[in-house]
Amino acid sequence: MVEKLQQNRILWLSSLTCNGNSHSLLNHPNLDLLLQNIQFLYHPLLPSRYRLKEVIQNSYECEILVIEGSIDPTLKINGVKMIDVITRYSSIAEVVITAGTCSTFGGIFSRSNEKASGLHFREEKRTEDFKNIWQKSISLPGCPVHPDLIFKTIQMILKGLYIDLDECRRPKIFYGWTVHDGCNRNEYYEYKIGHHRFGEMEGCMFIDHGCRAPFTRGSCNKILWNGINSKTRAGQPCSGCTEPDFPAFNLWETKKHMGIPAHAPLGVPKRAYISIAGVAKAFKIERFEKRILKKGSAVEKKH
Ligand code: SF4
Ligand code: SF4
């Protein structure tokens, strides 16, 4: 996407945010390695060269601008409109990364604030304000974004590697597949077996509990959280946090018409899904008919 950068100064600006993406980055096991390779001009939580006030009042040279949080044109910090600070630094930086769903699509803040949006999108709809920097933008949605996606994207930029992006400017290497890919409940999904209880390891949550992973792009079941787990592996449905329509309403409930999920897996025509589901359901898979684990057997202490 860009030539190898000559320097590696990163400016992390927070707009309307809970700072979840800043905190997420702190969870990266190799954060010290990242900090050896880059310099934060400013980050809300990590050692930085400047204070926020200095960043707002000046125009420092930086190679990468990371934006966290929804952009509300009326939001002021230290008396300065944050949108003006973002505009100024986005013209200086060679690459602009939106970290998290709020800065990418508007996210949770845009649901209650009609002025708030992401850098280039308000949900699916393209916005106008920053169209001049579209070509140098990379979207890393997630609520929060997985720390490894920030880490690896920055590493790829620093090395001058080509990053293939989708129509929302998400790197395909992370967002080219769905979160369903890699879930350890796929056998249950194949045969349309629900019988899921929250927090337990058996059953597919797409059948009754609103799992949005089959139409949510991301790597949660391939690049695991804390290196060990994901929501769906742990027994909580995916709530689709990397997609433009996040947060959806009626989470954890599969909306159905005539017993068929209203939302088919990504790219699968509804008619094809109904046919396949009908065939799969016709099989009685004895192995899954009764529960494999006794309730609590994996977690309770044996006395
Ligand atoms: S629980 Fe969700 S991610 Fe896992 S197999 Fe079912 S639909 Fe896919
Ligand atoms: S499993 Fe779904 S809701 Fe959870 S972090 Fe991944 S994409 Fe977001």
CATH 3.40.50.700 corresponds to the domain 9-175: yes
Cβ atoms of residues 237 and 251 within 8 Å = yes
Residue 182 Cα to ligand 2 midpoint, Å, equals 13
Query: Does residue 92 have a pLDDT over 60?
Result: yes
170-181 mean pLDDT: 98
Count of CB atoms situated within 10 Å of the CB of 64: 26
Nearest Cα neighbor of 260 from 252, 272, 246 is 272
φ, ψ (nearest 5 deg) of residue 213: -60, -35
User: How much is the average pLDDT of 76-101?
Assistant: 97
Provide residues with CB under 6 Å of ligand 2: 142, 179, 216, 218, 220, 230-232, 238-242
Atom of ligand 1 at shortest range from CA of 204: 6
* Ramachandran angles phi, psi of 64, nearest 5°: -125, 130
Distances from the Cα of 270 to the Cαs of 191, 218, 257, 263, 265, in angstroms?
A: 17, 22, 12, 8, 8
Res. 251 pLDDT band, cuts 50 70 90: confident
Tens-digit pLDDT profile for residues 112-123? 999 999 999 999
Q: How confident is the model at residue 56 (pLDDT cuts 50, 70, 90)?
A: very high
Residue limits of CATH 3.40.50.700 in the chain: 9-175
- Supply the pTM of this predicted model: 0.93
Range(s) for CATH 4.10.480.10 in the chain? 177-290
pLDDT for 2 equals 59
Look at residue 3 in the predicted model and tell me its pLDDT. 67
pLDDT score, position 1: 58
DSSP structural state of residue 225:
B
CATH of domain 177-290: 4.10.480.10
Q: What is the chain's mean pLDDT, rounded?
A: 93
For a pocket test of ligand 1, which of 187, 201, 202, 206 has the largest count of ligand atoms closer than 8 A to its C-beta?
A: 206
Choice from 184, 188, 189, 209 to test ligand 1 binding pocket (greatest atom count within 8 A of CB): 189
Compute the average pLDDT of residues 219-232: 96
